[in-house]
């Protein structure tokens, strides 16, 4: 396996793990916030979904960027 492939796999794994963790955190926080703010009816689902996707995207971006930064380092 070439070095570039290894780095690409690491960044992809970082994005996937970050997205999973961010999605879980976003779902929990979105649910809490929807109940606390008393969001009515089906708008709760929309609110929770938006929070989940936004959080997953941000966590995935940062974990992927961190993986990319660490690709060039040899320990």
Q: Where are the alpha helices (DSSP H) in 1-75?
A: 3-36, 43-71
The dihedral built from the CA positions of residue 12, 17, 18 and 23, taken in this order, carries a sign that is positive
User: What are the structural domain ranges in the chain?
Assistant: 20-69
Tens-binned pLDDT, residue by residue, of the chain (75 aa): 455 568 899 999 999 999 999 999 999 999 999 999 999 999 999 999 999 999 999 999 999 999 999 987 765
Q: Which residues contact 59 (CB under 8 A, 6 or more apart)?
A: 18, 19, 21, 22, 23, 25
Retrieve residue 65's tokens: 């960027």
């Amino acid at each position: 396996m070439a070095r570039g492939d290894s780095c690409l796999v690491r960044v992809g794994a970082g994005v996937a793990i970050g997205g999973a963790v961010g999605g879980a955190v976003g779902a929990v926080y979105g649910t809490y916030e929807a109940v606390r703010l008393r969001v009515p009816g089906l708008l709760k689902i929309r609110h929770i979904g938006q929070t989940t996707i936004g959080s997953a995207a941000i966590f995935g971006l940062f974990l992927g960027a961190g993986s990319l930064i660490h690709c060039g380092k040899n320990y």
